[in-house]
């Protein structure tokens, strides 16, 4: 899970003050009017302006364009702003606009968590004149069916508002990530949608907008409990993040399968563990073929749902993503004909360590161009080159790595390296049509990661050839090293390649030194 934590430990974050009137659960008589609440929020709501890099996967050497993007946020400290991680993904520059100020305030990322889709921004103190921001405090004020109001600072500096009602709480996949988190769903939402807008029940901030469904008119909110946990973790100086499941399940409704597992006829609960990943919570405890009966004492039904005392039926992922990484998690499982109790730690998943990274926000694509052969690391961003509906358009053997093996790195294979395509030149005559091939060996050495490919290519200078061997019995490529430097120079000039190599050292490699 990629995060940036800049500067000193966050101070004053836990000393977030209530908005006036938010210290206690308001009654209908005590709740402030919309006009009064709007006035209170003038020093709390902000407009977020972002210039974001647009990285090019097909020609990864190209200087990325900058695209302007906008979103919303709110103060959670005198110089701290909360917004969604998606709003500031790939950001080159971030500026904040306050109510009543024409000048924008530069901001930098303090902590970002793409799994929970939350980001804490640090503002320059000089830009806070004439007064610091007024923090808001999110409260767990979920009431199914309650009317909600949303307020945000518009680009013209005015406070705008909208309405809806709390329809339900459910578990959804995070917009920028692979992780699943609890969201509140606002029904019949009025006005246009904006990520980072704050939603209120009475005068209590209960969540921040993170997605919308244009067909149903629903808006998803990151709930107060996730926000509060994120801010508490961020205040500790070292951000740990949230737990993510390290296994995959399927419903356990087939009576024959249950009998084969020697489960008693009166035992109706339990969800089937179809696969255990190499990373994430439970990967070191569970086994394929287990049935998870309970997590932390919460009984799971055959579909993997449990009864939450506040929100009703929820999928089990909430029991893990509501835990801070490092917290204890207990599993009750059915294994080999008997009930077993297991205990371990909640674990986050670092996307950079995935076999096929789900995201690489803020990092340009990695590549090697040698003899016109464009060699790249397989990522989800790479597969999205195929455009809308890319899941059905990408070469099946590449999609299989993401879908079925993405969480399965090993010491011997930390990344999937592909020959993306060939830039036609005399040195690669006869191979121009090759591409989208998974490289198995370079110069006879099994490929571990892209960084190792570069090391192999620069080693053994006495050999007259480079060889690339592929999966699926594709032909081996032989590259003559004689005249290769001159050929690379011509190719770089012909195709406008300023740098023939852009490779970062992997975390595993750096830690092994």
CATH number, span 13-234: 2.40.10.120
Q: What is the pLDDT of residue 1?
A: 37
Q: Taking Cα atoms as reference points, which of 350, 372, 369 lies closest to residue 503?
A: 369
Residues of the chain with CATH 2.40.10.120: 13-234
Residue carrying structure tokens 């000048």: 103
3-state secondary structure of 22: coil
Give the largest CA-CA distance in the chain.
86
Give me 344's structure tokens: 């371990």
Residue carrying structure tokens 């009750």: 332
- Whether the CB-CB separation of 501 and 369 falls below 8 Å is answered with yes
Gap between the terminal Cα atoms of the chain: 22
Residues of the chain with CATH 3.20.190.20: 352-512
Task: Give the DSSP per-residue string, 277-301.
Answer: -SSSBTTTT--TT-EEEEETTEEP-
* CA atoms of 328 and 334, how far apart (whole Å): 20
For 335, counting Cβ atoms within 10 Å of its Cβ (0-12 exposed, 13-18 middle, 19+ buried), the class is middle
Q: Residue 476: phi, psi to the nearest 5?
A: -75, 135
Q: What is the pLDDT of residue 32?
A: 65
Q: Residue 260: phi, psi to the nearest 5?
A: -65, -25
- Whether the CB-CB separation of 195 and 209 falls below 8 Å is answered with yes
- Whether the CB-CB separation of 281 and 347 falls below 8 Å is answered with yes
Q: Residue 222: phi, psi to the nearest 5?
A: -75, 120
Q: Which fold, 352-512?
A: N-terminal domain of MutM-like DNA repair proteins (3.20.190)
- Please tell me the CATH superfamily of domain 247-345, with its number: PDZ domain (2.30.42.10)
Q: What is the pLDDT of residue 141?
A: 87
Give me 464's structure tokens: 């007259």
Residues of the chain with CATH 2.30.42.10: 247-345
* CA atoms of 48 and 25, how far apart (whole Å): 30
Task: Give the DSSP per-residue string, 82-101.
Answer: EE-TGGGTTEEEEEEE-TT-
* CA atoms of 471 and 467, how far apart (whole Å): 14
DSSP assigned state of 424: -
Q: Give the total residue count for the chain.
A: 513
DSSP assigned state of 245: B
Q: Taking Cα atoms as reference points, which of 61, 162, 73 lies closest to residue 112?
A: 73
- Whether the CB-CB separation of 57 and 64 falls below 8 Å is answered with no
- Whether the CB-CB separation of 235 and 285 falls below 8 Å is answered with no
- Whether the CB-CB separation of 441 and 467 falls below 8 Å is answered with yes
Task: Give the DSSP per-residue string, 14-73.
Answer: GGPPPPTT-SSPPPTTTSPPHHHHHHHGGGTEEEEEEEEEE--SSSTTSPPEEEEEEEEE
* Beta carbons within 8 Å of 291's beta carbon, 6+ residues apart: 252, 261, 263, 270, 271, 272, 273, 333, 334, 335
Q: How is the chain split among helix, strand and coil, in percent rounded to 5?
A: 20, 35, 45
Q: How far is CA 288 from CA 224, 245, 383, 402, in A?
A: 35, 14, 29, 20
- Whether the CB-CB separation of 447 and 453 falls below 8 Å is answered with yes
pLDDT digit string (tens) for the chain, length 513 residues: 333 333 333 344 443 433 433 333 444 445 567 888 989 999 999 999 999 999 999 999 999 999 999 999 999 999 999 999 999 999 999 999 999 888 899 999 999 999 999 999 999 876 566 788 999 999 998 999 999 999 999 999 999 999 999 999 999 999 999 999 999 999 988 877 899 999 999 989 999 999 999 889 999 999 999 999 999 999 988 999 999 999 999 999 999 999 999 999 999 999 999 999 999 999 999 999 999 999 999 999 999 999 999 999 999 999 999 999 999 999 999 999 999 999 999 999 999 999 999 999 999 999 999 999 999 999 999 999 999 999 999 999 999 999 999 999 999 999 999 999 999 999 999 999 999 999 999 999 999 999 999 999 998 777 899 999 999 989 999 999 999 999 999 999 999 999 999 999 876 665 655
Q: Look up the pTM and report it.
A: 0.90
* CA atoms of 472 and 434, how far apart (whole Å): 13
Q: Taking Cα atoms as reference points, which of 481, 363, 365, 367 lies closest to residue 417?
A: 367
């Amino acid at each position: 899970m990629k995060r940036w934590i800049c500067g000193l430990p966050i101070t004053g974050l836990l000393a977030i003050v209530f908005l006036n009137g938010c210290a206690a659960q308001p009654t209908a008589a005590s709740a402030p009017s919309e006009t009064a609440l709007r006035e209170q929020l003038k020093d709390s709501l902000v407009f977020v302006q972002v210039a974001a890099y647009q990285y090019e996967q097909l020609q990864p050497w190209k200087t990325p364009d900058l695209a302007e993007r906008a979103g919303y946020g709110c103060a959670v400290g005198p110089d701290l702003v909360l917004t969604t991680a998606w709003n500031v993904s790939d950001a080159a520059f971030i500026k904040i606009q306050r109510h009543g100020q024409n000048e924008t305030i530069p901001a930098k990322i303090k902590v970002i968590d793409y799994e929970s889709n939350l980001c804490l921004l640090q503002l320059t103190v000089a830009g806070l004149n004439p007064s610091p921001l007024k923090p808001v405090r999110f409260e767990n004020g979920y009431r199914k069916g309650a009317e909600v109001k949303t307020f945000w600072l518009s680009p013209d500096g005015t406070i705008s508002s909208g309405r809806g009602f709390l329809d339900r709480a459910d578990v959804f996949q995070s917009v920028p990530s692979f992780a699943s988190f609890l969201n509140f769903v606002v029904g019949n939402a009025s006005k246009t949608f904006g990520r980072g807008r704050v939603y209120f029940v009475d005068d209590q901030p209960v969540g921040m907008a993170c997605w919308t469904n244009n067909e149903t008119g629903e808006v998803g909110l990151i709930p107060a409990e996730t926000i509060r946990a994120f801010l508490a973790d961020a205040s500790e100086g070292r951000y740990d993040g949230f737990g993510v499941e390290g296994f995959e399940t399927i419903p356990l409704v087939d009576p024959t399968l249950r009998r084969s597992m020697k489960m008693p006829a009166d035992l109706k609960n339990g969800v089937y563990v179809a696969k255990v990943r190499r990373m994430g919570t439970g990967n070191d405890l569970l086994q394929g073929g287990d049935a998870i009966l309970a997590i932390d004492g919460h009984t799971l039904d055959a579909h993997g749902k449990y009864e939450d005392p506040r929100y009703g039926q929820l999928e089990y992922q909430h029991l893990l993503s509501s835990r801070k990484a490092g917290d204890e998690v207990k599993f009750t499982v059915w294994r080999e004909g008997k009930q077993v109790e297991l205990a371990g730690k909640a674990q986050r998943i670092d996307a950079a360590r995935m076999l096929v990274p789900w995201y690489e926000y803020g990092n340009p694509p990695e590549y090697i161009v040698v003899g016109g052969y464009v060699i790249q690391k397989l990522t989800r961003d790479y597969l999205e080159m195929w455009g809308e509906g890319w899941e059905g358009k990408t070469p099946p053997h590449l999609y299989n790595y993401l879908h079925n093996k993405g969480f399965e790195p090993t010491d011997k294979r930390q990344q999937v390296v592909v020959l993306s395509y060939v830039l036609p030149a005399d040195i690669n005559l006869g191979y121009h049509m090759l591409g989208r091939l998974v490289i198995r060996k370079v110069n006879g050495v099994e490929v571990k990661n892209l960084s190792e490919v570069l090391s192999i290519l620069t080693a053994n200078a006495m050999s007259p050839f480079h060889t690339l061997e592929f999966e699926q019995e594709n032909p081996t490529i032989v590259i003559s090293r004689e005249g290769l430097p001159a050929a690379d120079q011509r190719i770089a000039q012909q195709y406008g390649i300023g740098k023939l190599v852009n490779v970062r050292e992997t975390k595993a490699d750096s830690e092994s030194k």
